[in-house]
């Protein structure tokens, strides 16, 4: 049976199946990528930008269809699939790189013993992108927009539960004017990724996904001496200092923890709260979470949809149960509802410690874990007591006081009085078990380029 099925997580109904690409088709697509790169690298920035701008226009014009496809395949609330968090963000990313890539990749002069010397950025070739299901459009476009503008071509191996999204993105870019071989979808099972990485047509690989998948891809890419970028999991701390407004912080905590039904690498997951405001914060967060409506993502009144798969719901429930058994206190939620669908209610755990599941594992769903700190030093120590290092946020009535903690927080991004998010204008990525390399911003644009040194003497 083909692994590519579209299964509605709200109803558990399989509504579409897709045939896996056989080896001859995969080989043909890899060969098209090699030919496509030879042509695409010679195009001007103006030509590339026209494709990206048209892609942005199509995303906006066809927003409703793309949003419904996402909701049917992975369950997110439809408002978040449309303008709030995904389709519009993809269009903005296309616009940003269409506008800025040429300047960001412009050759730079540097002093040396040459008459003229400097650096330039040349494309690498076909970049294989192994992408996840949780943001099935945005994760792809945040790779594709900079990669294509840099002159590379893209090969997409998407998650097996969002094949409809993968095919729709390939079609959209083709209709936007991307020439043959510039961006192609590969419907292959995860067991075939190793062979793709080893193929001579593939020059680099990027993955967003689990630690296990990241470690495997990194090992394969390293063995083939190919560049890789990894964006893996996170257990982001949300640090509330004793001078913060607990009610205001709780409102933002609720937003961060439940966006995309809690299925986000950069969602706040560990809420490190100083004792003087902890009781007020917990009560305010309980009220915010309790007010959320859980249901099918196509219902516009819903705030939290189902989790994307049954195994994800089961794993989250296990983490809650193990944390409670180890001494955490249940404030809200904690048990799956009866009936069909992979639903799990907004859940709040208090007095979590770093040795409990919710305090040390990544919880991928609407579960908030509160860890209490007696001092700023303890708050920083708790925030850093993780193998992950994707993002962190600090909340305070004194922005300068919070900013002073930025160098001490071990994460790829630190936000003061704001929830961690990705922005096409800013580099994004993590440290530790959250991966390496950067996406977005100038740094992400340059990741898959050859930083080439040029040294010129005018005369022999």
Residues annotated as part of the active site: 231, 265
CA separation for the pair 333, 347 (Å, rounded): 4
Question: 383 with 236: CB under 8 angstroms?
Answer: no
Residue (of 405, 397, 395) closest to 243 by Cα position: 397
Give Cβ neighbours of residue 459 (< 8 Å, ≥ 6 apart). Answer: none
Give Cβ neighbours of residue 423 (< 8 Å, ≥ 6 apart). Answer: 440
Alpha helices by DSSP H, listed for 345-434, are 357-360, 376-384, 399-403
Q: How many residues does the chain have?
A: 460
SS3 274: strand
CA dihedral of 36, 38, 39, 44, whole degrees rounded to 10: 120
Residue (of 133, 123, 143) closest to 40 by Cα position: 123
Checking DSSP bridges between strand 367-373 and strand 268-274, what pairing results, if any? parallel
CA separation for the pair 125, 129 (Å, rounded): 13
Question: 247 with 253: CB under 8 angstroms?
Answer: no
SS3 329: strand
CA separation for the pair 215, 51 (Å, rounded): 34
Question: 127 with 155: CB under 8 angstroms?
Answer: yes
The residue written with tokens 């030509």 in the block is: 47
Burial grade of 135 (CB within 10 A; 0-12, 13-18, 19 or more): buried
Burial pattern 16-37, b for ≥16 Cβ within 10 A else e, equals: eebebbeeeebeebbebbbebb
SS3 276: helix
- Phi first, then psi, for residue 61 (nearest 5°) are -70, -30
CA separation for the pair 373, 117 (Å, rounded): 54
* Element holding 91 (H helix, E strand): helix 87-104
CA separation for the pair 334, 332 (Å, rounded): 7
């Amino acid at each position: 049976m083909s692994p590519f099925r579209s299964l509605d997580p709200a109803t558990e109904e399989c509504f579409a199946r897709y045939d896996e690409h056989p080896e001859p088709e995969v080989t043909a697509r890899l060969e098209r990528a090699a030919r496509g790169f030879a042509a695409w690298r010679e195009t001007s920035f103006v030509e590339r930008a026209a494709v990206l701008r048209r892609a942005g226009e199509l995303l906006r014009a066809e927003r409703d269809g793309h949003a419904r496809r996402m909701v049917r395949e992975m369950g997110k609330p439809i408002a978040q699939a449309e303008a709030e968090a995904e389709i519009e963000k993809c269009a903005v990313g296309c616009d940003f790189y269409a506008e800025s890539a040429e300047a960001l990749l412009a050759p730079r002069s540097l002093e040396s013993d040459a008459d003229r010397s400097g650096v330039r950025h040349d494309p690498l070739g076909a970049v294989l992108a192994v992408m996840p299901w949780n943001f099935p459009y945005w994760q792809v476009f945040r790779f594709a927009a900079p990669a294509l503008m840099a002159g590379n071509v893209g090969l997409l191996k998407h998650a097996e539960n969002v094949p409809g999204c993968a095919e729709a993105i390939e079609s959209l870019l083709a209709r936007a004017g991307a020439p043959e071989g510039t961006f192609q979808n590969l419907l292959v099972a995860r067991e075939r990724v190793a062979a793709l990485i080893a193929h001579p047509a593939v020059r680099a690989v990027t993955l967003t996904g689990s630690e296990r998948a990241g470690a495997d891809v990194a090992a394969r890419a390293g063995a083939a001496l190919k560049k890789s970028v990894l964006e893996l999991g996170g257990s982001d701390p949300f640090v509330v200092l004793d001078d913060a407004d607990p009610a205001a912080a709780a409102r933002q905590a609720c937003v961060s923890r439940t966006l995309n039904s809690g299925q986000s690498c950069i969602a706040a997951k560990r809420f490190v709260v100083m004792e003087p405001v902890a009781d007020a914060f917990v009560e305010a967060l309980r009220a915010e979470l309790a007010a959320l409506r859980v249901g099918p993502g196509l219902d516009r009144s819903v705030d939290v949809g189902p989790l994307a798969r049954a195994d994800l719901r089961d794993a989250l429930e296990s983490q809650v149960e193990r944390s409670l058994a180890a001494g955490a206190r249940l404030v809200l939620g904690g048990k799956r509802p009866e009936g069909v669908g992979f639903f799990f209610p907004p859940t709040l755990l208090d007095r979590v410690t770093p040795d409990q599941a919710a305090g040390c594992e990544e919880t991928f769903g609407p579960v908030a874990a509160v860890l209490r700190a007696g001092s700023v030093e303890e708050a920083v120590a708790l925030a850093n007591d993780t193998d992950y290092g994707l993002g962190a946020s600090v909340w305070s009535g004194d922005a300068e006081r919070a900013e002073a903690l930025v160098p001490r927080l071990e994460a790829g991004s630190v936000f003061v009085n704001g929830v961690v998010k990705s922005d096409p204008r800013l580099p994004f990525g993590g440290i530790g078990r959250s991966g390496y390399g950067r996406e977005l911003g100038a740094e992400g644009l340059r990741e898959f380029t050859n930083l080439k040194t040029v040294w010129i003497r005018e005369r022999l």
